[in-house]
Structure 1
């Protein structure tokens, strides 16, 4: 049975339905990810590789010659590639959020039918720059919150995460989405925070499991040389694996989407009213996708 988004869920149901939906739509979700996010992920990976290569050369040069890290070394480390890496990382997450949220929006509108790439493209072009620009401002806000004893960061975390589904599902602006997220999460903060927190732990555990072997190999190289030396090859392999592991970010995006629909349904009963309006209509939704031969 396909996952129905417009329904109230508890903590366990959100987590279970996250993996159920991903399992039912694994191939089209991965296809959507590769088509709409692949270029940003590849660009981010290349700039990160260049950044890591330069950083390792600086660090290894310092350890070989027993020098202290200076402002000149920092200029080599925090160069143009460093800022490009940050930019493409934000673009990767924004593109992933928009692509997956667009997929789910159309999936719900079409009566749990898989949308076409052309349909997703229309949503993607409309929302990408809005989400990308908003993500830059929100990241700056979260960075500032870290300096206030970290507590504001964890408090704002679920509200910020909820803003992107609101932008896509309700065509909301940054200001509207920010206020709307507080409205629908009100009285449900801890369950929303806990659900997202558990999902991110699962995601980071999966990423760590994949990246761990190359990280261990790199650490062995540090302690087995006469002078501390970080393996360039192992570090670059780790960087590539980290970039590929970004696909796991699909999981929390689906989770926050299910939480959004659950909270909206709990407060506004939009899905219930829709089902009442269509009560007695036994016709199946029309599949508007082009036929494949």
Structure 2
């Protein structure tokens, strides 16, 4: 039985409360959640890291003066192939991660803090295809928003950040998840944007900590090459040490998506409560049944 203090999701929250409860939930449920993620996302995570390492190696030609002068940076196709593999692995990992976290929270809420691990894995398997499709469709929507102008892209990102939570918690279709996301953020766009913005800054700061070893190694190697007068080929900077450190940094950044997934659940329930007051109505009904 879970002895951690139960965190109520179905209630109104301010920005600070969402951030505080996000990290409180991660602290209380992190160990159990991590065990679930190892089963559902372990293999895709490893494949994503391998794809990221391969992309770092393949993209080193961008800094090779010989390749640039010959115009054959992309002739081998290695960079394009590595980019495709990395994006495909990222999409699979992203879908499984969000599906796992949100189904974990769904079970947590349904059973008042007790998680049914079998229902979590079952839900992830059932919704995986829909989550992948929703990820691709929402990504296209945001992409075209940024292509039109930066502001439409930012505007569309806010409702699109909630589509996975709506899909899982309401068990609706992909199209309904997208349409409902716009209804949910209506008149609440600014507070939702502010929450996502502050959360993004926090995650960026944390990820920068893990990037320090790669940055230190790059600066030290650049300084050494410049002092020895051997800084003629920037592609030489991309050696196996740099690739390893860069991959570790990427691993930390990908793992931090867990925080985003948890926060999206709190944001969803906050907006849902402000719109429909479902949590308050359920509490009233429970009091009536107990009386």
Q: State if a TM-score over 0.5 links the two structures.
A: yes
Determine if the alignment matches structure 1 residue 90 to structure 2 residue 97.
no
Structure 2 Cα separation of the partners of residues 220 and 249 of structure 1: 30
Q: 1:66, CA displacement in angstroms?
A: 8.2
Whether the 8 Å CA contact 1:53–1:236 is kept in 2: the answer is no
TM-score normalized with structure 1 length: 0.89
Find the counterpart in structure 1 of residue 9 from structure 2. 5
Aligned to 1:258: 266
- Name the counterpart of 1:112: 113
Alpha carbons of 1:27 and 1:69: their partners in 2 closer, same or farther (altered >3 Å)? farther
| Structure 2 CA distance for partners of 1:266 and 1:49, relative to 1, 3 Å | same
Cα distance change of structure 1 residues 262 and 242 upon mapping to structure 2, 3 Å threshold: same
Q: Deviations over 1:140-160 (max 9, x none)?
A: 222222222211111011100
Distance (whole Å) between structure 1 residues aligned to residue 20 and residue 281 of structure 2: 25
- May I ask how many residue pairs the two structures share in their alignment? 278
1:138 matched to 2:138: yes
* 1:19-98 alignment, distance < 5 Å: 19-56=23-60, 58-59=61-62, 62-63=64-65, 65=66, 67-68=68-69, 70=71, 72-76=72-76, 77-98=78-99
Aligned equivalent of 1:195: 195
User: Residues 160, 66 of structure 1: CA spacing in aligned structure 2 closer, same or farther, 3 A cutoff?
Assistant: closer
2:104, 2:120 within 8 Å by CA — same for their partners in 1? yes
Q: CA deviation at 1:138?
A: 1.6
Structure 1 stretches of 4+ with a deviation exceeding 4 A read none
| CA distance, structure 2, for counterparts of residue 78 and residue 50 of structure 1 | 9
Check whether the contact 2:213–2:245 (CA below 8 A) recurs between aligned residues: no
1:249–1:256: structure 2 CA closer, same or farther, 3 Å change rule?
same
Considering fraction of residues, name the structure with more helix. 2
Give the root-mean-square deviation of aligned CA atoms: 1.9
Aligned to 1:205: 205
- Could you say what secondary structure the match of 2:253 adopts? helix
Query: What SS is found at the alignment partner of 1:196?
Result: helix
Q: CA deviation at 1:51?
A: 2.1
Matched, 1:161 2:161: yes
Distance 1:66 1:39 in 2: 35
Structure 1 unpaired stretches of 5+: 283-293
TM-score calculated relative to the size of structure 2: 0.89
What is the distance in 1 between the residues matched to 2:67 and 2:103? 53
1:240 to partner: Cα distance: 3.1
Residues 215 and 235 in structure 1, CA contact (< 8 A), matched pair in contact too: no
CA deviation string 1:83-120 (max 9, x = no partner): 0111101111111100000000011111111332x221
CA contact 2:22–2:262 (8 Å) conserved in 1: yes
Q: What residue ranges of structure 2 are gaps of 5+ in the alignment? A: none
